[in-house]
């Protein structure tokens, strides 16, 4: 059982709700700041992980920027205090009005994923009398670790510009008057715990710099290596944050930079995941043929990750200390996939017990929806309770 929760106070709050440990968030931000500062690395927090205003404000207070994937995220970041020179806008499908939002606010950079997008940004910028800073999101194809660039079994995906198209894109940029090439951008995936993948990313970035950008003398000022650092869903108390020291050290060791280049990171999950917990109460315990079902008042509308990706979240009963048994922990929603865990070992569980679904600070509240016309979960903060 975790002792970190103020159980008595939490027991009085109407469930379900997200509980944020703001001290842990501060500690995490502080470690990131210290470790990133060692190398003058720039951090843009990936707002899509959790766009809660108080969390954005806290992230901003540590001097980090905001990495946005929609016009509304740009607006929310600015409203939370991020200055426009620290806001970047990524995403494969930016709508015209979202591009306009970015340009109106003179954001730092658009991460561009295709030639048609480049042309549209240029056209809108021209109309508005602006120049858009752009970085090219390149699909580095690092997992297929065979020959340089040409890989068998390449999985086509919608993200980024293929390596073999980069030259064409650079030619296009030279033709356009209202875009300014400032960076290259990579993001190899999410919940990555094998730091070797980041090593491979560095190698690929080095090759691309040598073979394309340096050769063309189109040296980007910014090398943005994205996010994706994973966290420990199994042991949130033992590992309340990932090893940021090791993470940044990999890039310091393996990334070869050109004079004056800045390295940018877009961390999402690793910043906010462990500080958030979905709190819920047991409504009923129902006896199946061979299964005890703990039916709780949180559902997939509050936290969709288990239903959407079969994601694992550690589940704890915070109020029972009775002998253990196994339970399927399920929500109230009319979908079989509304299940948080099967055969979960818990102390004997009954109606009214307070349940903690851990490591839910990232891609949790922000994905909550009103399916079944349920209410959205509220947010409770450790420093305000
Ligand atoms: C989602 C995303 C991130 C953040 O990923 P995490 O795994 O949460 O760190 C960063 N960059 C891009 C482009 C993304 O799509």
Digit-coded pLDDT (tens) for 224-251: 999 999 999 999 999 999 999 999 999 9
Q: Please report which confidence band the pLDDT of residue 370 belongs to, taking 50, 70 and 90 as the band edges.
A: very high
Q: Which of 28, 42, 67, 91 to mutate to test the pocket of ligand 1 (most atoms within 8 A of CB)?
A: 67
174 alpha carbon, distance to own chain's centre: 33
Contact between 286 and 295 (Cβ < 8 Å): yes
Beta strands at 222-224 and 276-287: parallel, antiparallel or unpaired: unpaired
Is pLDDT larger for residue 140 or for residue 229?
A: 229
Mean pLDDT of the chain: 95
Using a 6 Å cutoff on CB, does residue 187 contact ligand 1? yes
* CA distance linking residue 310 with residue 330, whole number of Å: 13
Using a 6 Å cutoff on CB, does residue 102 contact ligand 1? no
C-alpha of residue 36 to centroid of ligand 1, in Å: 17
Specify whether domain 7-16+274-381 bears CATH 2.40.37.10.
Answer: yes
Q: Given a cut of 60, is residue 348 above it in pLDDT?
A: yes
DSSP-assigned letter for residue 229: B
Q: Please report which confidence band the pLDDT of residue 151 belongs to, taking 50, 70 and 90 as the band edges.
A: very low
Digit-coded pLDDT (tens) for 175-193: 999 999 999 999 999 999 9
Digit-coded pLDDT (tens) for 248-257: 999 999 999 9
Q: Token pair for residue 7?
A: 């159980």
Q: In CATH, what class is 22-273?
A: alpha beta
The sign one gets for the Cα dihedral 312, 249, 91, 128 is positive
Instruction: Scan for tokens 């920027």, then name that residue.
Output: 65
Using a 6 Å cutoff on CB, does residue 16 contact ligand 1? no
| pLDDT > 90: percent of the chain | 93
Using a 6 Å cutoff on CB, does residue 228 contact ligand 1? yes
User: Would the pTM of this model clear 0.85, i.e. be above it?
Assistant: yes
Q: Please report which confidence band the pLDDT of residue 141 belongs to, taking 50, 70 and 90 as the band edges.
A: confident
> What's residue 143's pLDDT?
63
> What's residue 7's pLDDT?
96
Q: Please report which confidence band the pLDDT of residue 49 belongs to, taking 50, 70 and 90 as the band edges.
A: very high
E-only strand ranges, the chain: 17-20, 42-46, 65-68, 87-89, 109-112, 132-139, 161-162, 179-185, 222-224, 262-265, 276-287, 292-296, 315-317, 324-330, 339-347, 354-357, 378-381
> What's residue 173's pLDDT?
97
The ranges assigned to domains in the chain are 7-16+274-381, 22-273
Over range 68-90, report the average pLDDT. Answer: 98
Q: Given a cut of 80, is residue 145 above it in pLDDT?
A: no
């Amino acid at each position: 059982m975790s002792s970190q929760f103020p159980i008595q106070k939490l027991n009085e709050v109407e469930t379900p709700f997200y509980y944020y440990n703001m001290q842990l968030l501060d500690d995490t931000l502080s470690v990131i700041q210290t470790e990133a500062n060692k190398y003058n690395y720039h951090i843009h927090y990936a707002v899509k992980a959790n766009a809660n205003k108080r969390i954005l404000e806290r992230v901003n207070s540590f001097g980090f920027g905001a990495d946005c994937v929609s016009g509304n995220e740009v607006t929310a970041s600015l409203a939370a205090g991020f200055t426009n020179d620290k806001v970047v806008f990524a995403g494969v499908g930016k709508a015209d009005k979202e591009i306009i939002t970015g340009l109106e606010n003179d954001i730092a950079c658009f991460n561009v994923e295709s030639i048609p997008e480049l042309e549209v940004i240029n056209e809108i910028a021209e109309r508005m009398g602006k120049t858009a800073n752009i970085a090219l999101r390149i699909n580095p194809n690092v997992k297929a670790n065979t020959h340089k660039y040409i890989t068998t079994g390449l999985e086509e995906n919608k993200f980024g510009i293929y390596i073999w198209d980069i030259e064409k894109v650079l030619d296009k940029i030279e033709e356009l008057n209202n875009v300014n090439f400032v960076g290259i951008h990579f993001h190899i995936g999410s919940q990555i715990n094998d730091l070797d993948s980041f090593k491979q990313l560095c190698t690929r970035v080095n090759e691309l710099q040598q073979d394309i950008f340096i050769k063309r003398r189109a040296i980007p000022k910014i090398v943005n290596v994205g996010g994706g650092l994973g966290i420990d869903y199994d042991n949130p108390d033992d590992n309340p944050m990932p090893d940021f020291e090791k993470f940044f050290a990999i890039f310091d060791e393996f990334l070869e930079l050109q004079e004056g280049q800045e390295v940018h990171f877009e961390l999402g999950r690793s910043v906010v995941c462990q500080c958030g917990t979905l709190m819920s109460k047991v409504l009923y315990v129902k006896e199946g043929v061979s299964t005890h079902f703990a039916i709780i008042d949180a559902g997939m509308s509050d936290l969709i990750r288990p239903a959407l990706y079969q994601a694992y979240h550690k589940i704890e009963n915070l109020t029972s200390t009775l002998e253990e048994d196994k339970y399927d922990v399920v929500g109230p929603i009319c979908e079989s996939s509304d299940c948080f865990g099967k055969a979960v070992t818990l102390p004997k569980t009954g109606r009214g017990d307070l349940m903690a679904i851990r490591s839910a600070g990232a891609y949790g509240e922000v994905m909550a929806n009103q399916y079944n016309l349920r209410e959205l979960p509220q947010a409770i903060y450790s420093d305000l309770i």
